[in-house]
Each structure stands twice: as structure tokens, then as C-alpha cells.
Amino acid sequence: MLYYYIVTFKDLRRIIAEKNKEMEIEAKFYDPTYYWKGRKIVSLDRWFQIKENHGLKVALQYFPNDFPRFGSPFIIDNIEDQVLKEEANHWYSDFTKLMEYSKNTEYGKTKCFHCLLSPDREEAGIFIGINKIISKALDTNGTTVYPCKILNRFACPYDKKMIVGSEEEEEISGYNVTKKPDVDYLFYLSELAFAVELALAKAQEEDSVFRIRSSEDAYQVLTNRETLEMVLQQGLKEEHMHYKDRIVKLFTNMKDRIKVEDLTVY
């Protein structure tokens, strides 16, 4: 037997209004303007207020709408409660996905740290300056690419694909460069730069095969193939040793661009 309900236009409008309200609430739940992964999104300042006034466990029920400039190790470091620490780690994973989804500028900057064109290592005041040196191989027509003026991974201008080991790599290793490198290749070059930095740091020790005491010494290492090979053989980490020949070729091809004033020995 079928049952039918008779409603007035007034009741119908009320039902439609209530349904629309339900749909709006449901839409907000999935809209990263309001909610993400079931947690409400609040301003960064508000999130810190919640954490300060109610503790971390309560704050983990919310997501800030921005990434803090000083990073977020304060969220998951020094947590003694292992259950809370696991919850914080899961929260942080979802939070970074939100930052990825929204292409957050501050978070985009943190993803540039390991790029060749990032000045973070230079500003740290502990490295000689190999990022800047290698980046000179990318300069064209007097235009300097270092440091990057964008520093936002989500707005990176280096989107032309380049395959490591290809002819394009040969071109970038040579003296004249006419093509814009791919962002992945910039990260690869940064890894080479870091390997060289570690080898040069080892060369500052007293028992080094060639001891670096000044910027002039560092310049000699980078511009003299035999000395560079000795220093790399001595100081490259085992996981970086397979880069040795590529590093030597890179600096040999660009030695005329290396300037002693671009090097700093602390």
C-alpha cells in the first residue's frame, strides 16, 4: 500500500530551504575554504591562540589557513606522549597536503630550500658558496639567475623538462647556455653543490691532501682539475662518490666563470 503526504507550498518552501542549508553545510565540509579532512580551517593567529589556551591536542582538531614562516617543527617535536606524537605526525601530513592543495606561498618557499637558486645555504653562513658558483653556468647574456627572485615552488618559472645525462645536460655543463633548465635539474645541481661543500669542508682540516685556509685556496681547488679530483676523492661521502666525474667535468667547463670574490671561507 502506498502512502502519500500532502504538503502546502509553505511546507514545501520550508523543506527546500532546510535541504539547501544541509547541502551548504555539506559543501563547506569539503571546501578547503572552511574544512579540510574533517577539520575546521582557522586563521594562523587563531590556531596559535587555540594551542596556547587549550593545548596541542585541541589545536590538532583545526588547521591553520597559512604556513608559519619559521616552519612547524614546534608542532611535532618534543612531544613525550607517543599517542599524541603519532596524532601530530598524521595531522602534519594532512596539513602539508592542504598547503599543497592551496599552493600556499610560505609553504612554497620551504620547498625551494634544496634548489640550486635558493640563497638559504649562503645566508646560513657556514658554506663556501658553491650554489652561487654553479648557478653561473646558467647565466645567459649577462642575466644572473642566482638568487631566484620567485622562491615559491608553486610559481617556479623553471618548468622546461631536462633529463639528467641528456644532450641538454652537456649544454648546461658547457660554457654557453641557451636553454632554461627544468626545476628537477636545479634540485639535482643543488645536490652536487652540497656534495662539493662537504668535500671542501673536509679539505679545511689539518691532515687534508690540500688544505683550504682561504677563499684563494678554494678558488684554486675549483679551477685546477688535478687538485679538485684529489679533494673530491678525499672528501666526497660514499653516497656522493658516483658524482665525482660529473662534478669535475662541470667545474672544468665553467672554470672561467668562477670568481674568488664569490667564495667565502669561514
H or E element, residue 233: helix 225-235
Residue scoring higher pLDDT (210 or 30)? 210
Helical pair 225-235 and 244-253, crossing angle rounded to 10 deg? 150
Band (pLDDT 50/70/90 cuts) for residue 121 is confident
H or E element, residue 191: helix 183-202
**Helix count (H) and strand count (E) of the chain?**
13, 3
pLDDT for res 160: 64
Backbone angles phi, psi at 121, to 5 degrees: -65, -40
Across the range 103-116, mean pLDDT stands at 94
pLDDT digits (tens, 9 = 90+) for 238-256: 999 999 999 999 999 999 9
pLDDT for res 9: 65
Band (pLDDT 50/70/90 cuts) for residue 24 is low
pLDDT digits (tens, 9 = 90+) for 135-179: 998 888 878 899 999 999 999 998 765 444 444 444 454 444 445
Q: Output the 3-class SS for 15-42.
A: HHHHHHHHHHHHHHHHCCCCEECCEEEE
Percent of the chain's residues with pLDDT above 90? 66
pLDDT digits (tens, 9 = 90+) for 40-57: 999 999 999 999 999 999
Q: Which three cell numbers stand for residue 159?
A: 618548468
Instruction: Evaluate if residue 191 carries a pLDDT over 70.
Output: yes
H or E element, residue 50: helix 44-54
Report d(CA 135, CA 148) in Å as an integer: 10
Report d(CA 217, CA 231) in Å as an integer: 12
Report d(CA 60, CA 75) in Å as an integer: 9
Q: Which three cell numbers stand for residue 72?
A: 612547524
The residue assigned the cell 502519500 is 4
Q: What is the mean pLDDT of the chain?
A: 85
pLDDT for res 74: 64
Alpha helices in 104-224 (DSSP H): 105-110, 120-124, 130-135, 167-173, 183-202, 215-223
Q: 3-class SS at 114?
A: coil
Band (pLDDT 50/70/90 cuts) for residue 122 is confident
The residue count of the chain comes to 266
Report d(CA 187, CA 35) in Å as an integer: 33
CA 222 to centroid of chain Cα atoms: 27
* pTM for the structure as a whole: 0.76
Question: In angstroms, what is the C-alpha Rg of the chain?
Answer: 27
End-to-end CA distance of the chain: 90
Instruction: Evaluate if residue 117 carries a pLDDT over 60.
Output: yes
pLDDT digits (tens, 9 = 90+) for 193-236: 999 999 999 999 999 999 999 999 999 999 999 999 999 999 99
Band (pLDDT 50/70/90 cuts) for residue 29 is very low
